[in-house]
Amino acid sequence: MKVAALQMVSATDLQANLAQALELLREAHTQGAELAALPEYFCAMGWRDQDKLQLREAFGQGPIQDFLSRAARELQLWILGGTLPLQADDAQHVLNSSLLFSPSGECVERYDKIHLFHYDNGRERYAEAAVVQAGTQPVTCDIQSRDGQNWRLGLSVCYDLRFPELYRQLSARGCDLLLVPSAFTHVTGHAHWEVLLRARAIENQAYVLAPAQGGQHENGRRTWGHSLLIDPWGKVLAQRPEGAGLVLGELSRSSLAQVRQQLPALEHRVL
């Protein structure tokens, strides 16, 4: 199955971001992708964290969800809508949610980001919990490629990457492909992005597809980018350093089976 990670440098304007996302989705379709994954907050990187509150949607309705549904249906793609803000339990918070749409335009799965980013080095400070309500449940989903093969996806978002116990749960549920839409800061991305992603692929013997925000944003923030596809042996198959564009690659069922057969580490788990 051919997959695409879509890298963006989202601005503050919703419509401009959706236009850029559609252009990239169309390119992914043209290049033969069956699954296209957008990055975290593909719809907007606001001036302030509180700007997310103005864009929040009720689950199942809203312009961002309508956009994803329409694009999936028109392009006949599985589309992972990186993340978008959904209504939470109170008016001061949103859920940072990743939605998977089928080629029929139906939202077939939703994952609410569990681990909320917090970072303060004296110059940059982020406290996601101030505006975002944490999710609670790991999520997997089965999709079928055009050749009839089934692929089990494990959903996660950005800061989740630092918590291997989440991916162990996804692995225990039989995931073949781990999805990690992200907006890593330039500082943390430079230090940890690739090594964490490769570790998650190696220890769980699964493909990893990580679409990211990558570049200098209108709001002054700089994100790391380096969207990539990693195979179950930990090899980086494709990567894009910065700027909007695609990362394309093929998932191979035979390669996945070979890795798990020649080094059956998943069968040797004790704890």
b/e per residue, 73-100, with b = 16+ CB within 10 A? bebebbbbbbbbbbbbeeeebbbbbbbb
Q: Which of 113, 141, 175, 242 is catalytic?
A: 113
Distance CA 23, CA 179 (A): 21
**Token pair recorded at residue 225:** 């980018």
Q: CA 52, 219, 180, 81 torsion: positive or negative?
A: positive
Residue with tokens 């749960």: 169
Q: Which of 34, 40, 57, 128 is catalytic?
A: 40
Going by their DSSP bridges, the two strands 150-155 and 214-216 should be labelled as unpaired
Distance CA 80, CA 150 (A): 17
**Token pair recorded at residue 241:** 């350093």
Element (H, E) at 197: helix 186-204
Q: Which of 128, 158, 175, 242 is catalytic?
A: 158
Determine whether 2 is an active site residue: no
Distance CA 73, CA 258 (A): 34
CA 198 to chain centre: 15
Element (H, E) at 195: helix 186-204
Which is nearest to 24 in space by CA: 98, 65, 79? 79
b/e per residue, 248-260, with b = 16+ CB within 10 A? bbebeeeebeebb
Which residues are tagged catalytic?
A: 40, 113, 158
